Chains A and B, each alone.
Chain A
Amino acid sequence: MIIPWRRLPFFVFLTLGTIAFVYPLVWLVSASLKPRSQVFDNRLIPEIFQPSNYVTVWETAPVMRWLTNSLTVGFMAAVAVTLSSALVAFGFAYFRFRGRNLLFGIVLSTMMLPGAVTMIPVYLIWNKLGMIDTQIPLWAQNLFGSAFYIFLLRQFFLGIPRELFEAGRVDGCSYFGLFRRIAFPLCKPALVIVFVFEFKASWSDLMKPLIYLQTPEYFTMPRGLKQIIDAFALSGHYEWEIAVAASVIAVVPMIILFAFGQRYILDGVATTAQKG
């Protein structure tokens, strides 16, 4: 292989950058396997392996429940938002109906709306419905679609040649059939992007679980992790190795998701600012 000397400086800088981005995660995994006194020794390979940190986390906190809760909530949130956003996006992409442009303008403008403005009344709604301390408020709003995903999917639907839909109509396909049989299958990559983005967002979110959940059994993983950190703060002695092991547990499912959806995710990110 020819060594591209002119590009060498770039490789050096990029490698440094990669270390800065990836090393913290490696450090985290390594620290999670160390005894408390050595968490800060910054060795990559622990001097003393202590995988029992994970057992301790498992025994002191309902981690399995938190993981299951996060998976359930993430799955519900992602499925709900993908299906509903696709349906709405198709409505905006295919039909020319009265008020469409105005309505789509409103969709776009809601993207800028800070969540804080609706947060309190929405909490009061769920409170009235008796849904506090259940997981329903964490995902149910997604059934109505989300502006950013509607925008993204609409762009993809607009890219489908219109003749396909015309052909479908001639063959006696209903409007919903056009969506289900033509648009939906053709936009699978985009739908995967939406699913993964929303799953990640739901998995990472701290604020909603803080607002809506009280019983530790119902916590999601980030909320549970916060609980662990708070517990140390209260007791005054910091069991770093436990917090670190719990952090790893919160991160690993996302890394697995990334490993599988990598191409979709990276392409999806690249598309977000381009499709304007």
Chain B
Amino acid sequence: MATTVERPAARGQVEPARRRPPKRSPLAKREDRAGWLFVSPWVLGFLIFTAGPMIASLVLSFTDYQMIQTPRVVGLDNYRELFDDPRVLKSLSNTFVYAAMFVPLGTIFALALAMMLQRVGKAGGFFRTAFYLPEMTPAVAAAAMFLLLLNGQQGLVNKVLGWFGINGPNWTADPNWLKPSLAAVSLWTVGGTVIIYLAALNGVPKQLYEAAELDGAGPVTRFFRITVPMISGALFFTVITHTIASMQMFDQAYTMFYGPQQKATASDESLVYMVYLFQNAFQFFKMGFASAMAWLLFVIIMAITFLQVRIGNRYVYYHGER
């Protein structure tokens, strides 16, 4: 909106008024119609598949609905149950723990790689491609692969750790290591973030570093006083998107730990929120309760994002705009 291109004035014989006139000209009305016509697919989709379902989901969350009979209004029961159901709370805390591991680690890891990529200049093209490759791997395939790589006794990861004298944990079988296992798979697919950071780093004016060096600023000072503020927009964007995605993590956890084999794991340590929500909705057919879970997730994500934006706006620097 701030980026909207200003329209040149000359347009046909009638000079279209720059300031919106009290009565709209026929031309403006025509443009109104055309504009709405173009965006109408999205408006239609929004009403049918977003706005309508949001209202329906809110209504459902106050009902008991098992799909077979009509929904029965139960008031706030579902919401009360949210806080009485230990698995809701457990899955929520698991999700937070996973996000708390992945978001900071992913950011630091990706930033370190991006900064090194930038230093090697043209040669970085090969590495850039290599880092992005895992992003093309479907989550299910990546999860299946890591089930084997993270195997406690024979897995490659523990073998490599063994070279350094580290006795690797029993990753996917040890309840304490289930969430780190999930985070490890996510870290493997952090290449897209590396590319975003690299683009941001390349946008930082070189003169800033030169000037800072003349003033005697060391590498640490330059990093925190120039690099971080100048790419804060990209950092902010990825931290928010990673957080939102982490709160909704599903494919990996479901592939690795759920399905018929979950009886074997018999541990709730890997139960993330979306998996439990999915089970409630489509395995136990507790549609009302699952809707309440969805709304709790919505509120949590909104709250976290709002907080991040509040904090971020104090520090984020946007070049060009503002």
Contact = CB atoms under 8 A, between A and B. Distances in A.
Interface of A: 7, 10-11, 13-14, 17-18, 20-22, 24-25, 27-28, 31, 39-40, 42, 84, 87-88, 90-92, 94-98, 100-101, 103-107, 110, 112-125, 141, 143-145, 150, 155, 158, 162-163, 166, 169, 175, 179, 200, 203-207, 210-211, 221-223, 225-226, 229-230, 233-234, 240, 243-244, 246-247, 250-251, 254-255, 257-258, 262, 265-266, 269-274, 276
Contacts of A166: 8, 10-11
Nearest to B234: A273
B315 to A, nearest CB: 16
B139 A222 contact: yes
A276 B233 contact: yes
A96 B31 contact: yes
Nearest to B3: A158
B42 A207 contact: no
B198 A116 contact: no
17 contacts: A14-B124, A25-B134, A40-B155, A84-B45, A91-B39, A94-B38, A96-B31, A97-B33, A100-B35, A103-B43, A114-B247, A118-B54, A121-B52, A123-B281, A125-B49, A144-B49, A234-B261
Given A162-B5, A204-B139, A144 B42 contact: yes
Given A27-B156, A144-B46, A234-B261, A270 B144 contact: no
Given A91-B38, A143-B41, A163 B8 contact: yes
Contacts of B297: 114, 116-117
Contacts of B35: 91, 94-97, 100
A84 B57 contact: no
B41 to A, nearest CB: 5
Contact of B134 (A21, A31, A158, A163): A21
Interface string B1-43: 1011101101110000000000000000001111111110111
A114 B131 CA distance: 28
Contacts of B302: 112
Contacts of A265: 132
Interface in B41-81: 41-46, 48-50, 52-54, 56-57, 60
B195 A95 contact: no
B interface bracket (residues with beta carbon within 8 Å of A)? 35 or more
- Interface-central residue, A17, A240, A262, by most chain B CB under 10 Å: A17
Given A17-B131, A25-B137, A10 B119 contact: yes
Interface stretch (B85-93, B96-104, B169-177, B248-256): B248-256
Contacts of B140: 204, 206, 222-223, 225-226, 247, 250
A110 B248 contact: no
Contact of A179 (B38, B42, B244): B38
Contacts, number: 296
Contact of B298 (A7, A105, A116, A229): A116
Interface stretch (B145-153, B209-217, B222-230): B145-153
Contacts of A14: 113, 116-117, 120, 124, 127
Interface string B168-199: 00000000000000000000100110011011
A273 B144 contact: no
Interface string B253-280: 0110001110010000000001001100
